């Protein structure tokens, strides 16, 4: 939105246009009276110059009134003023060139004096309107310049205010950007107190505790349990052979199942200390009769 011109300038514009238009109309009336009185005395070139002057002043008065009725636009005023200045200055220069050639009647001294007085008035009056138009043009240029300066200042102030507002704008947390119906999973940035080192340590310790709670069968315990289930060679083939069942062989002892993870930790410690790695592969024990 453009900044409007000051009301004082608009009032001065109305006053200036009214004065110039009134003077032009008054001068046009005086020229009509002059040409009516001197019509029989004036020659054809003089009549032509007076008629051109009358048309020029009439056009000026009408044009200024039209500019007052239309909304104020600087470029429109400048274009009209340039046209009026060209026409008025041209007519004034033309009258100056033709003034020495103007012949006044010499029948009576009074009539001759009246003719010379009218010529002097026309010579002066032809420059009044151009001077007023030049004065208004200077005021219009000054008003446009001041208006542009004020517009630049207001624009800079608006930019400064915008720059001062931007840094203090509140920052929304990431969780507030999700709508209630969205299916976005929470990320790490949604938890400000989250520590990845502590979380990994807790997950490792919980996994170790869970692993320790599971009973593990070692090779030695499995071998001893299996060897204890077979009878010795002296009893083999005797009458007590039928009384043996495979219940003890199929069920490991309670003490064997309750052994912790100590054997595996000892083996890993021995391998780290430089000893040869021990195989934890489970193999079937040899039969007593093979040994």
Where in the chain are the domains? 7-163
What pLDDT is attached to residue 86?
92
pTM (2 d.p.): 0.50
> Phi and psi (nearest 5°) for 285?
-70, 155
Cα 13 from Cα 60, distance rounded (Å):
15
Q: Which of 25-39, 163-177, 272-286 has the highest mean pLDDT?
A: 25-39
Q: 90-138: per-residue pLDDT in tens?
A: 998 988 888 777 777 666 777 777 778 888 888 888 899 999 999 999 9
Alpha helices in 99-108 (DSSP H): none
Cα 34 from Cα 204, distance rounded (Å):
118
What contacts 24+ positions apart, CB below 8 Å, involve 41-45? 41/104, 41/105, 41/115, 43/103, 45/98, 45/101
DSSP structure class, residue 243 = G
Q: 235-288: per-residue pLDDT in tens?
A: 544 444 444 444 444 444 444 444 544 454 455 455 444 444 444 555 555 555
Choice between 241 and 67, residue whose per-residue pLDDT is larger: 67
Residue with tokens 């008035």: 121
């Amino acid at each position: 939105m453009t900044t409007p011109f000051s009301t004082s300038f608009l009032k001065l514009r109305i006053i200036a246009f009214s004065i110039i238009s009134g003077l032009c109309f008054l001068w046009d009336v005086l020229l009509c009276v002059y040409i009516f009185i001197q019509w029989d005395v004036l020659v054809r070139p003089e009549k032509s110059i007076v008629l051109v002057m009358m048309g020029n002043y009439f056009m000026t008065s009408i044009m200024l009134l039209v500019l007052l009725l239309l909304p104020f636009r600087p470029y429109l005023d400048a274009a009209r003023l340039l046209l009026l200045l060209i026409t008025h200055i041209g007519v004034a220069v033309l009258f100056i060139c033709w003034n020495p050639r103007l012949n006044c009647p010499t029948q009576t001294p009074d009539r001759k004096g009246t003719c010379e007085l009218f010529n002097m008035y026309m010579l002066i009056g032809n420059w009044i309107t151009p001077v007023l138009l030049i004065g208004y043009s200077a005021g219009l240029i000054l008003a446009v310049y001041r208006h542009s300066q004020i517009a630049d200042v207001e624009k800079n102030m608006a930019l400064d205010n915008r720059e001062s507002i931007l840094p203090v704008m509140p920052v929304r947390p990431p969780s507030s950007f999700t709508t209630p119906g969205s299916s976005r999973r929470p990320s790490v940035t949604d938890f400000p107190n989250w520590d990845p080192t502590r979380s990994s340590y807790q997950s490792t310790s919980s996994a170790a505790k869970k692993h320790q709670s599971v009973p593990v069968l070692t090779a030695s315990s499995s071998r001893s349990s299996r060897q204890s289930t077979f009878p010795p060679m002296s009893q083999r083939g005797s009458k007590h052979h039928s009384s043996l069942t495979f219940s003890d062989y199929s069920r490991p002892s309670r003490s064997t199942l309750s052994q912790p993870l100590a054997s595996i930790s000892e083996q890993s410690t021995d391998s780290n200390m430089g000893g040869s790695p021990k195989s934890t592969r489970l193999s079937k024990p040899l039969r007593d009769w093979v040994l």
